[in-house]
Amino acid sequence: MSEKAGPASAASGRSVGGGGAEASGSVDIHHGDNLDVIRGFADGSFTLVYLDPPFNTGRTQERALETARPPREERPGDVVVRRGFHGREYERLKGDLRAYGDRFDDYWGFLEPRLLEAWRLLADDGTLYLHLDYREAHYAKVLLDALVGRERFLNELIWAYDYGAKTRRRWPTKHDTILVYVKDPERYWFDSEAVDREPYMAPGLVTPEKAARGKLPTDVWWHTIVPTTGREKTGYPTQKPEGILRRIVQASSRPGDRVLDFFAGSGTTGAVASALGRHAVLVDDNPEAIAVMSERMPHATVIASGTAQAS
């Protein structure tokens, strides 16, 4: 596995939403269907793609009938796709997984063409982060291995939190999964030194110097949700905390790089990336999301129906 050290980011522990930190990178907000919008972007134009798609909500069959093929003859990683997982055909693998749930075709039919486009848009040193819940992560892992190649899998990140009701009938589910894939296992960018450190759980077992500096995060991230009364809060129902996105942006991009999130929602990816000196491109078709992002990032440019205007 390749790991490249890069320049430390100008990271800040402050909130970047609601004016908590000065923005230094540009933000473009596209209002429209994400698949239509991203098909107009150039190949390899983003160092980092973060996706937080809606979890499996049983979308209508009409939506699921979208083609899983990009509108061109070639597919990214074509040889790998045809070989499939452990030598099996990719279509056969999808067929087998259909047996595990009636909603599989619905969800993967919606997500697959968008993942193919995301992969096309990644630069050679780029990284894809796919944020899912426990109901879909295992399906997505197996299918992404087949779709882009198992050798391009880098990490499974677990974001653990503790809020809300807890069932007494099983172990309460209090985590999300973030799958991490790299475009080229020999060239991807990863800067562990730029990442905000976290406190040691047992600071007495390390030197005072180490305790003061903090430790590098592992693949399990304990982080609170967005506080209901906190400065970050936008009111958007699926808002993710800035601390999670800051860690991703710091590690897998450099100042000046371009970052894409085409399930943008409240715009946390853009707010964090801009504050860290990256250039963010956000896409969402929900007018409420566009309004929230415009208020959150007044320096952004909103692009709708092919017309750009300052927001």
Q: The pTM is what?
A: 0.81
**What are the domain boundaries of the chain?**
17-57+122-310
**Mapping DSSP to helix (H, G, I), strand (E, B) and coil, where does residue 159 land?**
strand
For domain 17-57+122-310, the CATH architecture is: 3-Layer(aba) Sandwich (3.40)
What confidence tens digit (pLDDT) does each residue in 198-224 have? 999 899 999 999 999 999 999 999 877
Q: Is the pLDDT of residue 44 over 70?
A: yes
**pLDDT at res. 67:** 36
User: In angstroms, rounded to a whole number, what is the distance separating the alpha carbons of residues 139 and 114?
Assistant: 16
| CA-only gyration radius of the chain, Å | 19
User: In angstroms, rounded to a whole number, what is the distance separating the alpha carbons of residues 45 and 24?
Assistant: 20
User: In angstroms, rounded to a whole number, what is the distance separating the alpha carbons of residues 190 and 3?
Assistant: 6
Task: Let me know the angle formed at the C-alpha of 215 by 211 and 217, rounded to the nearest 5 degrees.
Answer: 155
Q: Closest Cα to residue 256, out of 6, 1, 42, 2?
A: 6
**pLDDT at res. 23:** 62
**pLDDT at res. 90:** 78
User: In angstroms, rounded to a whole number, what is the distance separating the alpha carbons of residues 163 and 146?
Assistant: 35
User: 298: which 2 tokens?
Assistant: 């007044």
User: 301: which 2 tokens?
Assistant: 């440019």
Q: Is 155 within 8 Å of 219 (Cβ atoms)?
A: yes
Mean pLDDT score of the chain: 80
Q: Closest Cα to residue 296, out of 114, 71, 31, 29?
A: 29
